[in-house]
A and B are shown apart, each in its own frame.
Chain A
Amino acid sequence: MNPSLSLAGGPPSALNRIQRLSLFLGFAGLFILLLATFGIGFPKPGLWLALALFLILGGVLGYSLGAYSGHPAGIRNNGVWFKSLSARGIWAWGLGILLTGFYVVLYFYPQYLGLVQDGPNRGLIALFDPLSRALSGNPASQWFVYGALYTLAILAFGAKFIWKYRHNRYQLLRTLSVMFFQLAFAFLIPEIMARLNGDLPYYDLKNIWPLNYYNFERYRVNAFIGEGNLGLAMLLFGVASTLVITPVLTYFYGKRWYCSWVCGCGGLAETAGDPFRHLSDKSTFAWRVERWVIYSVLVFVVLMTTAVVYSYLGPDHSRYWLSRGELLVGVGVLLTLVFAWVMLFRRKELQKDARYGAIAYFTIILALIGFHYLSDTQHVFLFRSETLRKTYSLLIGSIFSGVIGTGFYPIFGSRVWCRFGCPMAAILGLQQRLLSRFRITTNGGQCISCGNCSAYCEMGIDVRAYAQKGRNIVRASCVGCGICSAVCPRGVLRLENGPLQNRINHRDMLLGAEVDLMDFVGEEK
C-alpha cells in the first residue's frame, strides 16, 4: 500500500575502480571453473585450480576492500534496498536460479560435473583431483568439490564480513570461529583422517546428529566399531555430542554456540548469506509456518533414525551390544523424562505451545510402540526403513537444506533452512527457550522503534516488538548472530548469559516514567 520511496530514488550504484577490477578477477576465476565444467581439459589442473581459487578469493577480498575501506568503521547498510542483488531484483533472481541449478546438478546429476564412477574423473571434478589427492590421497568426488567451494565461500566472504563489521568484536570473534571450524573440522581433518586411516567413515566432528542424520547408519556404525578404539571413541563422541555436550553448552551460552559460531550451514549463512539477511519474512504467518514445519522435521528425524537403527539391530545382543527392544525402550524413556520435566517445570513458558509439544511426544511414543508390534527385519512400521531414510535424505537433506536453503538465499534470506528445516536448530531452540542462561536484554526505555533490528534479523524475529515494550528477547529460533544488537542505533540490545531468574521479563513497562505507572500498564493486548 505504501510503496517504499526508496525504489523510486536514484542512489549511487557505480562501483569504484577497485571493485570493478576485483569483480573481473573473481569472475575470471569462476570462468575457469565453468570452462572445466563444460569439459575443457586443462593441461596442469593443479595450477589452474589454484589460479581459479585464488582469483575468486582475491576478487572477494578486493571487492570488500573497495566497498569498506575509505569509510570509517560502522554500520554500512547504505542502499541495501536499492540494489538489485539485495532487493530481490533481476540479479537476485538470476543468482537464485544459478545456485539452485547448481544444487540440483550436484545432488542428482553429478555426472554433469564430471563424476565418473569407475575411471578417471572429467570436467570440474577432474580439476579438483590434484587438491583431493594432496589431502586424502583419493581422487575428488562431487562432495569434495562442493566442500572445497563451500569452504572457499566461508573464508572469502568471512573476510568480507569481518571487514564490514570491523568495529564489532563480537562479530569478529564469531566469524573467525566459523571460518576455523569450516576449514579445520569440515574440510581438512576428515580428509587427513581419510589419508591416515582409510577405513574410518568420513566424519566432520562438529556435524552433530540430528543435523548429521546419517551418523548412526549401519555402514558407519560398523566402520566405527571395526576400527578399534579410535572408531569407538568417535562413535561415543557422536552420541555424547547430542546427549551431553550440546545440552551443556546450550545451557550456558544458548544455541548460538553452535548455530552462529560452529555450524557449517550457519557459517555460510553468516558470511556468504550476509547481504541477504534482511530478506527473511517477519510476518506472524511465517512464524506459525516455521514452528509447524521445523518441529515436524524433528519428529520425522527422530522416527527415521530410530527406524534405521532398529532395522539393523538384532533381537538380542549377538550382533550389537544394544538390542532392538532396548533401543525402543531407551528412546521412549529418554523422551518421557524430557517431556515430564517440561510439563512439570516449564509449563508456564510454553503456554499454548504445550499442546503441540504433547502432540509431538505422543506421536513418537505411539510410533515406537508401533515399531515394536508392526515390524519385521525389512519393514519398520509399515514402511521399509530404507524408504524412510531415502525420503528424508531426499526431501530434507538435499532439497530443503541445499536447493531451497542455500539456492534461495537472494530471495528468502540466508537462514531459510536453519529457521524452517533444521532439526538440530529445533532441539537447541527448545532448550534455549526452556533451559538456558542466554537472552537478549533490552535496555530499559531506550528503543526508538526504528525497526533496524527486526529488518536485519536473519531468523525473521520481530525484535522490535519486544524491544519497544522493554521486554527481553527469549526466542527458540534466535541463533545469537548479534546483528540486531550491532545495527541498533541506540544501543538497546545486548546478547548475554545470566541467571535464569527474570530472564523473561513480562513487566510491561518502560523505564523512564514514574514507578506508579507500572501498575497501570497491563499485559499487551
Chain B
Amino acid sequence: MHVLIIGNGISGVTAARHIRKNSDCRITLISAETDAFFSRTALMYIYMGHLTFQQTQPYPESFWSRNRMDRIRGYVTAIHPETRSVALADGREIGYDKLILATGSKPNKFGWPGQDLDGVQGLYSYQDLERLEAFAPNATACRRAVVVGGGLIGIELAEMLRSRDIPVTFLVRESSFWNGVLPAGESEMINTHIREHHIDLRLGTNLKEILPDANGRVRAVVTEQGETIPCNLVGLTAGVSPNIDFLRGSGINLGKGVLVNRYLETNLPDIYAVGDCAQQREPIGRRRPVEAVWYTGRMMGETVARTVCGQRTAYTPGHWFNSAKFLDIEYQTYGWVFPEHTREAHEAHFHWRHPKKHICLTLAYDRGSGTLLGVNTFGMRMRHAVLDQWLTEQRTAEYALTHLREALFDPEGYSDYRKHIQTAFRQQTLTAS
C-alpha cells in the first residue's frame, strides 16, 4: 500500500509518524515549501535571531530515512481520483492507494487595492520569511511597517519587526485587540502591553488601500479614516483560510475547506483531509468547522493514521485548549471562555487581574449550576492534565478555585496569587447573591 500525503506540516507529518508506527506501508510526503518539516509556530524566532532554521526542525535529517518516509519537493497542481494519482507542476505524476490532504492554510487577502505589490505580504510560509528578510532586514531599509489585522499572527509579526527596531503601526479593525475571542478585561490588558512595546496600535482602524511607488513597491497605506501612513512593508495578517484552490474540479467536495466527516474522510474513497485545510461537515461541540491550530492538526494526524491503518476511527477531540504569547505575556486557555458578544446567557464570568502586573485569570462557569466551563490565564501557567480532568468531571468554579494550587504550573519560586484570587471570587459571589 502506498500512502501519499500532500503537505509536510504538523498534520501531515504526525499522520506519517503514526502510520509508520502501525504499518509497513510505503509513505510519501509531498511539499512545495521545504524539504524538512519545520515548526511553523517558530517562524518568528528565526527572524528574531533566537533560533536558526535548523533548530525549528523537530526531527533530524536521519529521521526520514530511518522511518522510511520518502519526501518529494514539488507543487501538486491537480489530483486525479479516477486514476489514483496526483500531478505535480514539473509534470511528474505520482500514484497512490490512499491520499491524505494536509495542505494547511494561506493568508487572507480581502481584495484591497495594492495587495499584490512588492513589500506586501502575509506571514505563513518559509518563503514569506525570506520575503520579510528581503524587504525588512533592518530599520534603515524599512523605515516603517504596517501590520494589518489584529490576530495571533499579526501580533507576532509586530513583535518580530520591533526586534529589529523597525517602527510598526498595527491596524486593528476591532475596537480592542482580539476581542472576537477575548473578554474585554483581557483584551484591554493586551492593548496596554502592545503600546508598552512601542507599537503604534490603531484600534477600530480599517485598511482602505495600499499605494505603490514608481517601482511597484509599497509606498504607503491609506486607512478608511483617510489617513496616509508611509511605510516600506505591509504585513497582511487578517486571518488565514484553507489552502485548497488546486483541488477545485477534482470532484472533492469543498466548502471553506475540504469537507470531511467525523472520520476525516472526504466524499471520495481513500482520500482524507487533516489539519488546517479540513472542514468538519458536522459541528463538534462548540468548535469551529475549520480549526487552524497546531494541536488540532496533530490530533487529526493521529486519528487519520489509525483509519488509514485499518481501524476506522472518528475524530473526537477532547476539551478545547490553546495557548499563545502576546509579546511577553503568555496566554493559555482550557475549555470555553467566550467574549461578551458571543456569550450565552447562562455563561457567567469571574475575572481577576493583578493590580500592577500583567497577570489575570478568567473563569467561565454556568450561572445556574456553577459548573466550570473554561479558564483563561495570562501571565500564569496552568496544568493541562488537571484542568482537563476538572472539565471532564464537571467540577464547579468554586471547586476549581479552592483547588487552584493543584492547577498552577508557574516555575518554582513564583508568587502565588491564590489567596487574592479566592478572596476576589468570594466577594464577587457575595455581591452577586
Residue positions of A touching B, CB distance < 8 A: 1-6, 8-12, 72-75, 77-83, 167-170, 172-173, 283-284, 441, 443-446, 448-452, 454-455, 464-465, 468, 482, 485-487, 489-491, 494-496, 510-517, 520-522, 524-525
B411 lies within 8 A of A495 (CB): yes
A6 lies within 8 A of B46 (CB): yes
B299 touches A (CB below 8 Å): yes
B163 / chain A contacts, CB cutoff of 8 Å: 11, 78-79
Q: Out of B10, B21, B61, B317, which one reaches A522, CB within 8 Å?
A: B21
Q: Out of A9, A452, A491, which one reaches B323, CB within 8 Å?
A: A491
B410 / chain A contacts, CB cutoff of 8 Å: 494
B173 touches A (CB below 8 Å): no
A72 / chain B contacts, CB cutoff of 8 Å: 193, 196-197, 327-328
Q: Which residue of A lies closest to B56 (CB)?
A: A451
B330 / chain A contacts, CB cutoff of 8 Å: 489-491
Tell me which of B18, B22, B56, B129 has the highest count of chain A C-beta atoms within 10 A of its own C-beta. B56
B176 touches A (CB below 8 Å): no
B42 lies within 8 A of A4 (CB): no
* Alpha-carbon distance between A296 and B225 when the two chains are bound, in angstroms: 72
B250 touches A (CB below 8 Å): no
Q: Knowing A6-B46, A170-B412, A444-B388, say if A521 contacts B321 (CB, 8 Å).
A: no
B164 lies within 8 A of A170 (CB): no
Q: What 5 A-B pairs are tightest by C-beta distance, nearest first?
A: A444-B384, A74-B328, A491-B381, A450-B42, A169-B413
B73 touches A (CB below 8 Å): no
* Alpha-carbon distance between A9 and B52 when the two chains are bound, in angstroms: 12
Q: Out of B41, B66, B409, which one reaches A450, CB within 8 Å?
A: B41
B313 lies within 8 A of A516 (CB): yes
Q: Knowing A72-B193, A81-B49, A517-B313, say if A443 contacts B383 (CB, 8 Å).
A: yes
Q: Out of A73, A74, A445, A448, which one reaches B39, CB within 8 Å?
A: A448
* Alpha-carbon distance between A522 and B98 when the two chains are bound, in angstroms: 22
B22 lies within 8 A of A79 (CB): no
B140 / chain A contacts, CB cutoff of 8 Å: 10
B25 touches A (CB below 8 Å): no
Chain B nearest CB from A166 CB (Å) reads 12
Chain B interface, number of residues (Cβ within 8 angstroms): 77
Q: Knowing A72-B328, A514-B318, say if A172 contacts B384 (CB, 8 Å).
A: no
A445 lies within 8 A of B328 (CB): no
Chain B nearest CB from A153 CB (Å) reads 24
In addition to A6-B53, A451-B45, 11 A-B residue pairs with Cβ atoms within 8 Å of each other are A5-B46, A10-B140, A11-B49, A170-B414, A445-B321, A449-B41, A491-B330, A491-B409, A510-B298, A511-B385, A525-B20
B261 touches A (CB below 8 Å): no
B50 lies within 8 A of A80 (CB): yes
A451 lies within 8 A of B197 (CB): no
Q: Out of A445, A450, A486, A517, which one reaches B303, CB within 8 Å?
A: A517
B83 touches A (CB below 8 Å): no
Q: Knowing A79-B49, A445-B295, A446-B323, say if A451 contacts B58 (CB, 8 Å).
A: yes
* Alpha-carbon distance between A443 and B42 when the two chains are bound, in angstroms: 19
* Alpha-carbon distance between A515 and B385 when the two chains are bound, in angstroms: 13
Q: Which residue of B lies closest to A14 (CB)?
A: B165
B316 touches A (CB below 8 Å): yes
Q: Out of A4, A167, A514, A515, which one reaches B53, CB within 8 Å?
A: A4
B21 lies within 8 A of A521 (CB): yes
B49 lies within 8 A of A449 (CB): no
B133 / chain A contacts, CB cutoff of 8 Å: 5, 8-9
Residue positions of B touching A, CB distance < 8 A: 10, 18, 20-22, 34-36, 39, 41-42, 45-58, 60-61, 66-67, 129-130, 133, 137-141, 163-165, 193, 196-197, 294-295, 298-299, 302-303, 306, 311, 313, 316-319, 321, 323-325, 327-328, 330, 332, 381-385, 388, 409-415
B382 / chain A contacts, CB cutoff of 8 Å: 491
B58 lies within 8 A of A12 (CB): no
A6 lies within 8 A of B49 (CB): yes
Q: Which residue of A lies closest to B320 (CB)?
A: A512
Q: Out of A6, A452, A464, A516, which one reaches B58, CB within 8 Å?
A: A464
A169 lies within 8 A of B415 (CB): yes
A494 / chain B contacts, CB cutoff of 8 Å: 381, 409-412
Q: Which residue of B lies closest to A4 (CB)?
A: B52
A485 / chain B contacts, CB cutoff of 8 Å: 411
Chain A nearest CB from B376 CB (Å) reads 13
B414 lies within 8 A of A451 (CB): no
* Alpha-carbon distance between A487 and B48 when the two chains are bound, in angstroms: 14
Q: Knowing A6-B46, A450-B41, say if A512 contacts B67 (CB, 8 Å).
A: no
B318 lies within 8 A of A512 (CB): yes
Chain A nearest CB from B92 CB (Å) reads 22
Q: Out of B47, B51, B139, B165, which one reaches A451, CB within 8 Å?
A: B51
Q: Which residue of A lies closest to B380 (CB)?
A: A491
* Alpha-carbon distance between A79 and B48 when the two chains are bound, in angstroms: 6
Q: List 6 A-B contacts (CB under 8 A).
A: A9-B47, A9-B133, A77-B48, A452-B42, A486-B411, A521-B21
* Alpha-carbon distance between A522 and B384 when the two chains are bound, in angstroms: 22
B298 / chain A contacts, CB cutoff of 8 Å: 445, 510
* Alpha-carbon distance between A455 and B46 when the two chains are bound, in angstroms: 12
Chain B nearest CB from A457 CB (Å) reads 11
B52 lies within 8 A of A525 (CB): no
Q: Knowing A450-B41, A520-B22, A520-B306, say if A2 contacts B51 (CB, 8 Å).
A: no
Q: Which residue of A lies closest to B309 (CB)?
A: A520
Chain B nearest CB from A505 CB (Å) reads 10
A449 lies within 8 A of B46 (CB): no
Q: Knowing A12-B138, A445-B384, say if A6 contacts B318 (CB, 8 Å).
A: no
B164 lies within 8 A of A12 (CB): yes
A446 lies within 8 A of B384 (CB): yes
Q: Knowing A10-B138, A495-B411, say if A5 contacts B21 (CB, 8 Å).
A: no
* Alpha-carbon distance between A446 and B298 when the two chains are bound, in angstroms: 11
* Alpha-carbon distance between A449 and B40 when the two chains are bound, in angstroms: 9
B385 / chain A contacts, CB cutoff of 8 Å: 443-444, 511
Chain B nearest CB from A360 CB (Å) reads 29
B302 / chain A contacts, CB cutoff of 8 Å: 510, 513, 517, 520-521
Chain B nearest CB from A482 CB (Å) reads 6
A511 / chain B contacts, CB cutoff of 8 Å: 318, 321, 384-385, 388
A78 lies within 8 A of B53 (CB): no
* Alpha-carbon distance between A454 and B67 when the two chains are bound, in angstroms: 22
A283 / chain B contacts, CB cutoff of 8 Å: 60
B50 lies within 8 A of A77 (CB): yes
Q: Knowing A80-B50, A454-B55, A489-B330, say if A513 contacts B384 (CB, 8 Å).
A: no
* Alpha-carbon distance between A224 and B51 when the two chains are bound, in angstroms: 51
A449 lies within 8 A of B58 (CB): yes
B50 / chain A contacts, CB cutoff of 8 Å: 77-78, 80-81, 452, 455, 487
B53 lies within 8 A of A2 (CB): yes
B299 lies within 8 A of A446 (CB): no
* Alpha-carbon distance between A111 and B34 when the two chains are bound, in angstroms: 57
* Alpha-carbon distance between A168 and B379 when the two chains are bound, in angstroms: 11
B54 lies within 8 A of A4 (CB): yes
* Alpha-carbon distance between A494 and B385 when the two chains are bound, in angstroms: 13
A168 / chain B contacts, CB cutoff of 8 Å: 411
